[in-house]
Structure 1
Amino acid sequence: MPLQAVRPKILGFINEQASAWLVALVVLLAGLALTAIVAWAASDLYQQQLRQRFQLLVNERYTRLQERFEDQEQRLNSLRRFFVNSDEVSREEFDGFAQPLLLRTLAYSWAPRVYREQRSQFEQDVSDQGGAPFVIRELNSAGELAPATERDEYVPVLYSQTKSLLSAPLGFDLLAQPLRRSALERAQKTGKLAVSQPMQLVGVEPAYATGVLLVAPVSHLPTSGESQNEPYGYVMAVISIHQLVADGLPKPDRDNLMMQIVDTSDLHKRVLFESGTVESNSDLVGARRLTLGDHVYALNLRPSQVFEQANHSSLSAIMTMGGLLSLLLSALLYVLVSQRQRALKLVEQRTVQLRMREQELRAAHGQLRSVLNAATQVAIIATDLRGVINTFNAGAEQMLGFKAEQVVGTHTLESLHLAVELEARSASLSVALGKRIPASQAMLVESPDNLHEAREWTLVREDGSQLTVNMLATVLLDDHGLWIGHLAIYLDITEQKRAYEALAARDRLLKKLSAHVPGGIFQFTLEPQDNWKFIYASDGMRDIYEIEPGVLQQDAKRVFERIHPLDVERVRASIRLSALQLSHWREEYRVQLPQRGLRWIRGEATPEELPGGGTLWHGYVSDISDLKRVEEELRALSITDSLTGIHNRRYFQDRLRAEMVRLNRTSGALSVIMLDIDHFKRINDRHGHAVGDGVLQELCKRISQRLRRTDVFCRLGGEEFMVLCPHTDGEQAYSLAIELWESLRSAPMEPVGTVTASFGVASWRVDEGVDGLLLRADSAVYVAKQAGRDRVEAERLRA
């Protein structure tokens, strides 16, 4: 019986989809149960192994600590035997023997028993041996060492060997302190090692301050028949519990155990040592007993978090892996059981999708046919692999005059093209690609340097006329990506080509006209986003700015980089003002060119507002450097005396008026020095006007050498000269006039000899005008002339 017939009888009302879920659920539950059993067994085994590892660590730690305690006892016993076997031990012998024993021990000491009647002699003998006063001392009520009070017996520290910076207080009586007295009495009574109660050690770090005193009595060797003699002294070991226990153990962040040592003899159960490790939440506990001398200490050990992290349980991993395996197995069974149902459902779905796809393709084919027929301005032609036309839309019929029935299946794409163009294109492609390209495929093959771009061709209409078009060709692929033909799209560009030719002719004409116009012609725009742009720049712009017109059209800011820094902001502001007011723009400014250096430029343009909100200027720029140079030369000639080269009367009057305006506005000082050459007419009559001109030039040379940079030297006419002295009072001007008078008469002039002049000095007065100041200077010269010439006269001399 087939499975399809059996399953419904077994499952009853449960369909096949539900049976797949049921199988998957049963397998999942079984896997989870098995995982739980394995996890329980693994957990029990883990707890056993964890306790074993903890006990091993506890035993190892206890053994190590007990060995250290016993080592301290052995070292102290060896020091005691050294004293027992020696008649007398000096300080040097004690240091030499005790120093090697200092391992995990702070200090070793020797303290003899001294009775009341022996005290004075004992102190005297020790002082003589050590070379320093020795006194048996004890702590007084203030905590300071003081001479011990009278007692029957003393046990003072005589020798001490330590690694601490603070050595043991020599002479300190151990019987004066209760803890030490109790340890000494127990050692004397038992004759064995005794340990003091915990005490705070002095001179060590706080972490090492808790310690004990291990005491061993020292007696003479008994003779035959005698019992143990009374001790005549004690050797002691000062032990820091932290140093003894923690030395050599792992660091707290790496220790597997949390360790605690408790003094059981203390009623308060004082903790002597506790490690800094973090205790875990485990219930594992290890307890041991450590013995040192006559004391028993409790050692409590617990696992730390380091131990817990190093011995983590694999229970979670087992549960996770078991759950994942159960889930994967159930999913796999579900997939296998429901495979047939999914396959049938998928087939049904694909059938429905294929039917829908067929309907969509039919609709798309109809839409494509409608689009092709609607594109009446574009010719769309499709061919098979042989080039035979199989699609010819209405636009192709209208463009070429053929009917679709005439060309479909009968004509090729080659028959529509001009044969001469195909041959020329075939030859060029064959050279470029390195292989022969047939003329029938020349319109379909793309050149390596012109991929996926439309190309201009000439088509032949039905009536034999020719038509210029742009053609874009591409391959046609089926649903499997196989090449089944070509698609060519043609666009009539006859009118477009005519327009391009007209524009090109206009551009050529404009270029010829601009080439004969001095300077450069431009169109310039300023958009709302402060975007500067040249729409047009003639070749003359290259000569003006030494920048290619093409570069200017790409980046208009290159022009402003050429403008002189002192003029660029003014030019920018004038352009913005012209855009704001739509006013005529005209500016003269300087440019710094890489080759020709500094040049003067004049620019004019007429603005108009653009629809988008920007401004368009039509204008020109020209080089006016020669004009500026002529203007400067004319200006220099207008203010310069042609004979002497110094400033003339016009310049002097302009400067004097400017200084007067300054004085009336800001106050200050101003003086003038007027000089007239003595007997100059006699020089001209005797030596001629040429020699007279030379005298004038030499005088100007000598005077100019003595003037300051701020002074203005001018020729008023004939033999009269004037010196304008800004920021100069009368005293200073008079001193300057004396210097000029001396420089003039100090050396003769060839061939006339010594030439002298009469000087007059005048200083500006408040509310005085130009005429008043010059009149007083002229009067001073007149006084000098009347007084015999060759002198300097000033206002202060006329008082």
Structure 2
Amino acid sequence: MPLHAVRPKILGFISEQASAWLVALVVFLVGMGLTFIVAWAASDLYQQQARQRFQLLVNERYSRLQERFDDQEQRLGGLQRFFDNSHKISRKEFDGFAQPLLLRTWAYVWAPRVFRDQRKAFEQQVSRERGLPFAIHELDETGKLVPAAERDEYVPVLYSQTQNILGSPLGFDLWAQPLRRSTLERVQKSVKLAVSQPMQLVGVEPAYAMGVLLVAPVSRAATAQGPQKEPYGYVIAVISMRQLVADGLPKPGRDNLVMQIVDTSDTQQRVLYESGNTLAQSSLEATRRLTLGDHVYALKLRPSRVFEQVNHSSAVSILSMGSLLSLLLSALLYVVMSQRQRALKLVEQRTGQLRQREQELRAAHGQLRSVLNAATQVAIIATDLRGVINTFNAGAEQMLGFEVEQMQGHVPLENLHLAPELEARAAQLSRTFGKHIAPSHAMLVESGDNAHEAREWTLVRKDGSRLTANMLATALLDDHGLWVGYLAIYLDVTEQKRAYEALAARDRLLKKLSAHVPGGIFQFTLGPHDNWRFIYASDGIRDIYEIEPGLLQQDAQQVFERIHPQDTERVRASIRLSALQLSHWREEYRVQLPQRGLRWIRGEATPEELPGGGTLWHGYVSDISDLKRVEEELRALSITDSLTGIHNRRYFQDRLRTEMIRVKRASGGLAVIMFDIDHFKRINDLYGHGVGDGVLQELCRRISQRLRRSDVFCRLGGEEFMVLCPNTDGAQAFSLALELWQGLRSTPMDGVGTVTASFGVASWRGDEGIDGLLLRADSGVYAAKQAGRDRVEGERLPGTS
């Protein structure tokens, strides 16, 4: 039957005689249709997702802003209760309470109500308390502060805590401004929080000037003698709307939302705040209600250009990629069909040539058979393309026990192999090439990674016994380079494999034993000519030095390159001494590792002398970094004061003994400075022990900054401290004590004010011991306290007072 009588179909349904151009066009049109459908679905999904993301952003922004509005009410309510529950509040108390509340609030103000007949006495009283003239003022037509005109009631600013560096105009009458006055009247009637109409805040940057006043009444609490009275004053939060809203939100260039806040109770519907980012071209919009005091504000939110850029539709990308894919697929199909049609024509031509060559090969087969039979130590087997044996030499008969007549033309090569090995090899090759490889061809296919190299297989003899052979398989080609079969050459390696497995078993046992030893085990030699070499190194060496054991056997110098430069010579010297005396080697040293950095290593080894000269050590090395770190931490804890972080009494006593020995042996100066915090018990009683601990820590920080590097600063206990000054005489120590004293008292500490201390100075005398030196320093502290505290007493130069 001619070849064209049975024509296969491409892809199972396209005849190979169909026009390649027509098939490519149909595929392109179908691909474009599918692309448009996917793009339409993606566009609809994008719209839904954009609405959902926008609503999530709106809800999050609304919740955040309403929390900030509620927070302002709570903070002002706290200040209101502070006044309601106090009989009289001083300026310092007001500042201490109001200053921590200044979070997103421009200022807090206390303004009492003052009536006409109380004005003069009120102004005089405030002037006496402030030590400065005080009067109630108002703004004239030019915007300047002038004395307030006579009226029945005034509400002047008495206390103010603000973020403005210029402060607030004390004495400014809020009752004189109509907008502020209307807000105060509403508060007076409702006795509840009230918010002013939008206004331009005074003394605020233009960008932050638009804001409101949040006002709360201050009244005496109701008692059994009478009901609650009218407010006797007001506490006011001055709120910049931009500061309240924009603080902590994304910058305009990164914000997904365009935001606008409008006062719904304002007849002019003025905008209190509007973000400055660019509005996106979108129909999405949301409105929420924000409440502050007795006002309701409209929060309008729309998507910004940033939101539009982040949430762009993928329809255009899908159309572009789909069109390109359709075009590429149609072009590929066109090329495949064209090449297949040309290939089939070429196959018809080659078939005739192959039949001619078959006759020539049969003639040459007899000669090849004679040559192959001459190789009796190796099995040479040739097959056709199907894997059926057509050549079986005498070496194969001797190795496998089969006769040539039984094998040639009847038995496939796979029958000589162990079936599980073929199946495993076929599965591996299938994964490598991405297509199915039959087990019958697994031994003949080159995997690419080990092409043209011998591979080990298990063969089955005629009597059922097995042998291990190395097989080299190659393709047989004709004169035109066409594939006509396979050639396999087998070499029996059964005895070699048994010897290798015995050696491998011994190595595995040694490796398993060394794996359970902490650290690394090694054999190390030092030759007569100072040659350093590792004969053996276990896997544990890799963790110790971060060097592969195989590399150490090639070059032992890599270990010494890892050892810290300060320890290298000591380690080398200890190895040479151990070789000289044949004594046990034990050393602790540091190594610098590329990944784990500085580590501590302990090594031990037993030497023996080699017959040809040199020394061999059997030993191990282990990582003791954790042990060293624990020792260092315990030492640090034993000499450090846990509260202040400076040295403790124990360290001071050890260091003082060392310095005393030094000055007695080599002369030189030595002085101590002892000081005690004045009235420290009063600080603990007034502010609590937590504040007292903070005072101790801040004092140690200040003193440490002013000490020299050679000085030793210690806490003896409680509020008593000591500074040890090596190589320092009495005059120098007294000068240093004056500097420490001045640095401590010059700057008040937060929450407690100025903290002082009494200092005593003493320098060492050649005829006294430690107790005498400390007694004189303690006497100096006692003298300073007796003289009124907050001073330095001790040895001075002649002529100083």
Q: TM-score range by the shorter chain?
A: 0.3 to 0.5
Larger radius of gyration: 1
Return the TM-score normalized by structure 1: 0.40
- TM-score norm. by structure 2 comes to 0.40
